[in-house]
Structure 1
Amino acid sequence: MKIVIQKFGGTSVSTFENREKVVKKIIDKFSKGYSLVVVVSAMGRKGDPYATDSLISLVNKQNVSKRDLDLLMSCGEVISAIVLSDHIKRRGYETIVLTGQQAGIVTDSNYGEANVISVNPERIMRHLSQNKIVVVAGFQGADENGEVTTLGRGGSDTTAVILGEALKSEVVEIYTDVDGIMTADPRIVPEAKLIEKICYSEVYQLAENGAKVIHPKAVEIAERANLKVVVKNTLNECTGTLITYPETYNYSIDKNKDNIITAITHKVGRVQIIIYSDGNEEKIQKLMNEIAKNNISLDLINLLLDRKIFTIDKKDLGKLKRILDRSNIRYNLIDNCCKLSIIGNKMSGVPGVMAKIVNALSNEGISILQTSDSHTTIWCLIKERDAHKAIKVLHKEFNLGEE
């Protein structure tokens, strides 16, 4: 049995016309002899009747338990699955709709951000053996007590790849409203081009650092399962972007050419915090413990002898300032920052990449507030007002655009 998972996002199933295009892709694949599991997100976005945010807006979140909120949010995907199933049946094909729980997805009890513990694919396999197209409501599962849980934003991607792993599928196709993964956001850089093949580590960094192409959890699962994932556009017939291990596709690394960067992304709403030690390391340690207890996530961490520098999400700024003021510790902050991520699996061991970035930004009068790096990524903290200009400059500097 050759199994393929197809996942369709909210915009793909938001209108009758789009759903008809989705059905065409499903039937085209099915007619080629593949057994199909179709995973769907809730229809549309906020403002659309059955979108997740629209469902949440029906209640006062302060009065509703996390358990009940998960029950409510799970309805959007169930509605979407049944509506799409109806479209397929009109074409004469047999389908079965399953919730995440019915599809065998077992999670922990962390409502709103549940982690998948196990998957029992037996029920799906039984329906596939009966030549049915299985339509699964994404974004959800159930804990060991049978309580419905949701997997967090982007959870339908997680559903698709976790089922792909359990069913040993040949490929997972993620359909969305873009042609695939681009070298930069085309709304910022019009000449950004499609990346035909990309490795898991690069996509993870893209997803983690602002690019809304696929959920980071889904990338982690795909990598551990060595599962091929293709990101495609629902609305056309483009080949999309293949996500796989780098050794499974061929590229030559010419260290004399500017082909070492794969893509650039960014994340706004960052705040840089500088805490001055003033020789009191014990006080600093207590402060850091207090920050951790309050679930404030730190990023771009630089620990120096006389100061500690890091960034936080702007939504945590009020909470952090209260902690800092109570601690009576000298600090400074820079608001309205942007974390720029320059990503390339081929940059490891190549000298001069950071220097090239610094020179390119400096020549355009863009100040770098902080930097950090890993084997695949260089991060630069800049002011939000410079974000679009910086992305365009670096995209051109590393020859990432269409020729």
Structure 2
Amino acid sequence: MRVVAKFGGTSLGSGDRINRAADSVAAAVEDGHELAVVVSAMGSTTDDLLDEITFEADEEDRSEIVSMGERISVRMLKAALTARGIDARFLEPGSEGWPIITDEFGEVDVAETRKRALEVADSLDDAVPVITGFLAEGTDGSVTTLGRGGSDTTAVMLGKYMQADEVVIVTDVEGVMTGDPRVVEGARNVGEISVDELRNLSFRGAEVVAPSALSYKDGTLGVRVVHYQHGDLLTGGTSIEGEFESLVDMRERPLACLTVAGRAIRNQSGVFQSLASALGEADVNVDAVASGLDSITFYIDEDEAERAENILHREVIANDALSSITVDAPLAVVRVTGGELPNQPGIMGDIVNPLADARINVHDIITSATSVALFVGWDDREETLEITQDLF
């Protein structure tokens, strides 16, 4: 099996942990597997280096300085592998055979990087490559970086381009947990999670795998997260399943928009719960919810609008904080789903401005970590879908 193993900064934070990492790599190699290793800077080295740049430094100099953390890590782990009788070599920007190249805009040159990654893959029988994560090389030979979470990106990108069977992210968490074990009791490991679920968690603060890395995962590439104390690169942890594709789709059936107004209801606990529970107990499915300081809006199937209006009206009568309910229908919803949406500055303008140019009124926009839902009049649905599909 061909595996790319990525060791995070915590898993390399001391000599003992480097020994543990080397033991796990050596065991996999001795079992006959092909290994490439990606490493982060030891511990908090990168942040420490950045903190010390208290002077004016251009981007090229900054990249050279912060690259030193990863450059130390590859040498340390390579030496530990050599001490175990494993043929190993380190790769960093400027090395012969370095794989990750960026273009003049700082973006990964996919064609060149894929070609070089395959060359690294072809050499796995000769020696284990220990590769600096986070770093890339510009067309002029300068050091560039892949941004926050860049070591994860390096690993999954190389896993894809090297045609690996699996990428193993070795970190300081027991895979993906049901909750933060520092906050909730009884948190346990999730053995399997979809890439969609993990991306949503990652964009909302779960520090497991960088969202930028998950954009490189396809359906044939396994990705798994294990704790550095586990010791076995080939078992355990959380398996990340599936792949994420940009998608523009439209709900086929019309929606009704039910808006409940009240006085500062966002600041009053239990109001949303009572409204949502009333709909749920009546088996009314809610497609989407939006809220403001003085209103809560439910989008439901238009066929259920009259029944849902009566249900919510009873809640309005029973709660002094609520004043009225109104219904707008029929509406359509066009959803744009794509894992990199939050990383694209100006993306909302790119989506909405062409609709404004076409004189299409957007009734509402609801965003999540990886999607944008556009609510428009039912008669504008086909034109909205066509314009949005053209963008993506």
TM-score by length of 2: 0.59
How large is the Cα RMSD of the aligned pairs? 3.2
Q: Any idea what the Cα deviations from partners look like across 1:85-125, whole Å, max 9, x if unmatched?
A: 111111111101001554311113456xx545341125413
3-state DSSP of counterpart to 2:189: coil
Q: Any idea what the Cα deviations from partners look like across 1:350-382, whole Å, max 9, x if unmatched?
A: 936979xx9xxxxxxxxxxxx95669899xxxx
Give the corresponding residue for 1:133. Answer: 128
Which structure 2 residue ranges, 5 or more long, are not aligned?
A: 245-258, 260-266, 268-282, 290-295, 297-364, 373-392
Q: Is the 8 A contact 1:4 1:171 kept in 2?
A: yes
Among 221, 229, 235, the alignment partner of 1:235 is 229
Q: Is the 8 A contact 2:8 2:40 kept in 1?
A: yes
Q: Is the 8 A contact 1:109 1:149 kept in 2?
A: no
- Give how far 1:57 is off: 2.7
User: Could you tell me which amino acid in structure 2 is paired with residue 79 of structure 1?
Assistant: I
Q: 1:3–1:373: structure 2 CA closer, same or farther, 3 Å change rule? A: same
Q: Is the 8 A contact 1:198 1:246 kept in 2?
A: no
Give the corresponding residue for 2:89. Answer: 96
Listed as ranges, the matches of 1:1-400 within 5 Å are 2-45=1-44, 51-61=45-55, 63-100=56-93, 102-109=97-104, 114-115=107-108, 117-118=110-111, 119=113, 120-130=116-126, 132-223=127-218, 226-237=220-231, 239-245=236-242, 351=285, 372=366
Counterpart CA distance in 2 for 1:350 and 1:95 is 61
TM-score by length of 1: 0.58
Counterpart CA distance in 2 for 1:376 and 1:76 is 32
Counterpart CA distance in 2 for 1:110 and 1:236 is 40
Counterpart CA distance in 1 for 2:284 and 2:157 is 35
Q: 1:104–1:351: structure 2 CA closer, same or farther, 3 Å change rule? A: same
Q: Any idea what the Cα deviations from partners look like across 1:273-329, whole Å, max 9, x if unmatched?
A: xxxxxxxxxxxxxxxxxxxxxxxxxxxxxxx9xxxxxxxxxxxxxxxxxxxxxxxxx
Counterpart CA distance in 2 for 1:8 and 1:350 is 47
3-state DSSP of counterpart to 1:121: helix
Q: Any idea what the Cα deviations from partners look like across 1:237-268, whole Å, max 9, x if unmatched?
A: 57100001289xxxxxxxxxxxxxxxxxxxxx
Q: 1:208–1:376: structure 2 CA closer, same or farther, 3 Å change rule? A: closer
Q: 1:214–1:145: structure 2 CA closer, same or farther, 3 Å change rule? A: same
Counterpart CA distance in 2 for 1:56 and 1:351 is 50
Counterpart CA distance in 1 for 2:182 and 2:370 is 24
Q: Is the 8 A contact 1:180 1:231 kept in 2?
A: yes
Counterpart CA distance in 2 for 1:352 and 1:117 is 42
Q: 1:246–1:159: structure 2 CA closer, same or farther, 3 Å change rule? A: closer
Q: Is the 8 A contact 2:200 2:369 kept in 1?
A: no
Q: 1:65–1:375: structure 2 CA closer, same or farther, 3 Å change rule? A: closer
Counterpart CA distance in 1 for 2:147 and 2:108 is 9
Q: Is the 8 A contact 1:103 1:123 kept in 2?
A: no
Which of the pair has more CA radius of gyration? 2
- Give how far 1:73 is off: 1.1
Percent identity reads 33
Counterpart CA distance in 2 for 1:207 and 1:56 is 24
User: Could you tell me which amino acid in structure 2 is paired with residue 178 of structure 1?
Assistant: V
User: Could you tell me which amino acid in structure 1 is paired with residue 238 of structure 2?
Assistant: T
Q: Is the 8 A contact 1:100 1:139 kept in 2?
A: no
3-state DSSP of counterpart to 1:222: coil
